[in-house]
Chain A
Amino acid sequence: DADVTQTPRNRITKTGKRIMLECSQTKGHDRMYWYRQDPGLGLRLIYYSFDVKDINKGEISDGYSVSRQAQAKFSLSLESAIPNQTALYFCATSDSTGRGTEAFFGQGTRLTVV
């Protein structure tokens, strides 16, 4: 089983609909992140959470919200989806206890807004 699991893997939704992307992890990490990937733009940080009570906006948080339901669960919501939110979304986790620890990624959710 994957250490970082994203659901769904693919989703097509209509403009104006609310949609939630879910992420769960079994790595025991305290930090979780949501990124979106667009061709030529790399990965851009949407939101990140350093623990259950610590949520922070990233560089492109407008139009998105998140919820850290537990240490292992971090969900991303699009309150009213628009076509330019069509992208590949990644959840990632990292551990704050080690030095220079890297992020571990889920397989991604491909979201299409029509």
Chain B
Amino acid sequence: AQSVTQLGSHVSVSEGALVLLRCNYSSSVPPYLFWYVQYPNQGLQLLLKYTTGATLVKGINGFEAEFKKSETSFHLTKPSAHMSDAAEYFCAVRPYSSASKIIFGSGTRLSIRP
């Protein structure tokens, strides 16, 4: 069965510092991979996704993620954190199978220190 592990339920960085949110998945076949962001009192919004092709994926708001098959990872990064990045971030996977559903990780809350 597919599963998604997000390391660290809470990450705190200083404004201007590197943001790194970790995501590992378990799957015998590389799935489709997603990162979503949830701002307070809002629904989830897609940040970026990996389907096929280039393993470095760029998303909105300066975020990017790299798919590493050998490490079964899809970590999210941003070179310089901004106060507006404070939110909860979810990694998700969906297998290639046409009958697949989307499975989410437990989420990482990102706090930004002034």
Chain A positions within 8 Å of B, measured between CB atoms, are 4, 33, 35, 40-45, 48, 50, 56, 58, 90, 92, 94, 96, 99-100, 102-108
Inter-chain contact A107/B106, CB cutoff 8 Å = no
New A-B pairs, 19, CB < 8 Å, besides A40-B107, A45-B102: A33-B102, A35-B104, A40-B106, A41-B106, A42-B6, A42-B90, A42-B106, A42-B107, A48-B101, A92-B44, A99-B32, A99-B51, A99-B52, A100-B94, A102-B102, A103-B44, A104-B46, A105-B45, A108-B43
Closest chain B residue, CB of each to CB of A45: B101
B82 contacts A by Cβ under 8 Å: no
Assembly CA distance A66 to B33 (angstroms): 27
Closest chain A residue, CB of each to CB of B9: A40
Assembly CA distance A35 to B107 (angstroms): 14
Inter-chain contact A90/B34, CB cutoff 8 Å = no
Question: What does DSSP make chain A's interface, helix, strand, loop or mixed?
Answer: strand
Assembly CA distance A105 to B92 (angstroms): 13
Inter-chain contact A102/B49, CB cutoff 8 Å = yes
Chain B positions within 8 Å of A, measured between CB atoms, are 6, 9, 32, 34, 36, 42-46, 49-52, 90, 92, 94, 98-99, 101-107
Residue numbers in A under 8 Å from B32 (CB-CB):
99-100
Inter-chain contact B105/A42, CB cutoff 8 Å = yes
Inter-chain contact B34/A102, CB cutoff 8 Å = yes
Assembly CA distance A76 to B44 (angstroms): 19
**Contact residue among A33, A42, A104 (Cβ-Cβ distance under 8 Å from B101):** A33
Q: Assuming the A-B contacts A33-B101, A41-B106, A42-B105, are A100 and B43 also in contact, with contact meaning beta carbons closer than 8 angstroms in the complex?
A: no
Residue numbers in A under 8 Å from B105 (CB-CB):
42
Residue numbers in A under 8 Å from B9 (CB-CB):
40
For the complex formed, measure the closest distance between the CB of A88 and the CB atoms of chain B, giving whole angstroms. 10
Inter-chain contact A100/B49, CB cutoff 8 Å = yes
Assembly CA distance A42 to B107 (angstroms): 5
